[in-house]
Amino acid sequence: MQRKPSHIDLSTASGLAAILLWSTTFAVARSLAERVGTLTAAASVYLVAGVLFLVQVWWAKVPLTRCLKLPRRYLLGCGFLFVLCTTSVYLAVGLAKDREQVLEIALVNYLWPAGTVVLSVLILNKQAQWLLLPGTALGLAGMFLVMTQGARVSWTSFWEHFQSNPAAYLFALMAALSWAFYSNLARRWAGPNQGGAVELFMPVTGLVLLVMRLLSPETTSWSGQAVGEAGLLGAITALSYGLWDVAMRRGNLLLVAACSYFTPLLSTLVSCAYLQVKPGPRLWIGCLLLVAGSLLSWRSVSDSKPAGPEPEH
């Protein structure tokens, strides 16, 4: 009995570690994409992560056929959303015109926490309090500030900024929406106690991205640093999902969930350091508004009836 608290603390720490690892994704992904190309970077990362997941499944002697026993709509629907989110993230990162815009792309993508909460009201029949409205408004205001950097804050400047690179921003928004839908539909279709199929989704995503890469005319030039970044980001991707799973099943769910909403801030800090970017004050304010909006949205929603842990997201 004396060891139980430390076990819970270790599981909770796993979730916090996953948050820190996820915060490095945009920085390393952009650096790798600059070296080898967007689709090459995405395919290499998810092939590495997929192989690591398969090795973990083999080591744990868990039959992969377990995933095939899950509901068909979960496997197909959530599998599609998983691939769509991953592809959209890397396309958005690769299409960003410079490293400064990568910070904006990342923050648009981090609308997914607030989006997950809003969709939970519609999909999972959660009960929403009045804080959901200001929370959602703060998140959108944060995105608005991020996309009007260096210009007067107005709808015109926002629209002009968007039109400068619409594909990148749309892919970032698509990634946010697809992950918000994935998080809710995974809970609705698979349930909190049946487990998931991330160990299947990961290698499938790698194969899909590999096919997309083979069908594209992308020019690739590998170097020692590129190989290192691909291996590092692949390992980070696999490890973070594994740690998150431990936290969701055995850790302090409320603490880990609350801390996860600071990922936009951590990601911005890591990206600034790794990509050597100096963002303006408006981006920092937008980032903080996004964090505050996500936290308010999270606090505004509760279960309509007692339920188990929230789905991974």
* Residues 108-134, mean pLDDT to the nearest whole number: 88
pLDDT: which is higher, 207 or 311 = 207
Mean pLDDT score across all residues of the chain: 86
How many residues would you count in the chain? 313
Judge whether 287 and 139 are in contact, CB under 8 Å: no
Q: What is the pLDDT of residue 193?
A: 58
Q: What is the pLDDT of residue 125?
A: 86
> pTM score, two decimals?
0.88
Looking from the CA of 226 toward its CB, the CA atoms found within 13 Å total 15
Closest of 180, 153, 172, 203 to residue 46, by C-alpha: 203
Judge whether 101 and 108 are in contact, CB under 8 Å: no
pLDDT: which is higher, 212 or 62 = 212
The position carrying tokens 């430390």 is 6
**String of DSSP letters for 66-134:** HHHTS-HHIIIIIHHHHHHHHHHHHHHHHH-SSHHHHHHHHHHHTTHHHHHHHHHHHHS-PEE-TTHHH
pLDDT: which is higher, 41 or 245 = 41
Q: Give per-residue pLDDT as tens, 27-86.
A: 999 999 999 999 999 999 999 999 999 998 888 787 878 888 888 999 999 999 999 999
Return the minimum-mean-pLDDT range out of 23-32, 134-143, 146-155, 269-278.
146-155
Q: Supply 223's token pair.
A: 């170097």
251 backbone dihedrals φ, ψ, rounded to 5°: -95, -175
Q: How confident is the model at residue 128 (pLDDT cuts 50, 70, 90)?
A: confident
Q: How confident is the model at residue 174 (pLDDT cuts 50, 70, 90)?
A: very high
Q: What is the pLDDT of residue 150?
A: 63
126-130, 191-195, 279-283, 284-288 — most confident range: 284-288
Q: What is the pLDDT of residue 51?
A: 95
Judge whether 136 and 301 are in contact, CB under 8 Å: no
Q: What is the pLDDT of residue 192?
A: 59
Q: Which residues contact 312 (CB under 8 A, 6 or more apart)?
A: 183, 186, 196, 198, 241, 244, 245, 248
Judge whether 103 and 277 are in contact, CB under 8 Å: yes
CA distances from 21 to 25, 26, 234, 263 (A): 7, 11, 11, 10
